[in-house]
Amino acid sequence: MSSANPHAWSEHARAVLARAGRQRGGARERVIELLARQPCALSAVEIEDELRARGEATGRASIYRVLDLLVEHGLAERVTVGQGQARFETVDPTGEHHHHLICERCGRLVAFDDPGLERAIDRVGQRLGMRVERHDVLLRGACERCE
Partner DNA sequence: ATAGGAACGAGAATCAGTCTCATATTGTGG
Partner DNA sequence: CCACAATATGAGACTGATTCTCGTTCCTAT
Give how many residues touch its own copies by CB under 8 A.
36
Q: Which residue's C-beta sits nearest to Mn ion?
A: 118
SS3 string, 35-76, reads HHCCCCCEEHHHHHHHHHHCCCCCCHHHHHHHHHHHHHCCCE
The CB-of-80 to DNA minimum distance in angstroms stands at 9
Cα angle 121, 126, 127; round to 5:
95
Choose from Mn ion, its own copies, DNA, none: what does 138 bind? Cβ within 5-8 Å by kind: its own copies
Choose from Mn ion, DNA, Zn ion, none: what does 105 bind? Cβ within 5-8 Å by kind: Zn ion
As a whole number of angstroms, the distance between CA 147 and CA 141 comes to 9
Between 49 and 72, name the residue whose CB sits nearer to its own copies. Answer: 72
Task: Please give the DSSP secondary-structure letter assigned to residue 24.
Answer: P
Candidates 43, 101, 108, 110: give the one binding DNA (CB under 7 A): 43
Choose from DNA, Zn ion, its own copies, none: what does 128 bind? Cβ within 5-8 Å by kind: its own copies
CA distances from 21 to 24, 29, 87, 113, 125 (A): 10, 15, 26, 34, 32
The CB-of-63 to DNA minimum distance in angstroms stands at 7
* Site for Zn ion, rule CB under 5 A: 103, 105-106, 108, 143, 145-146
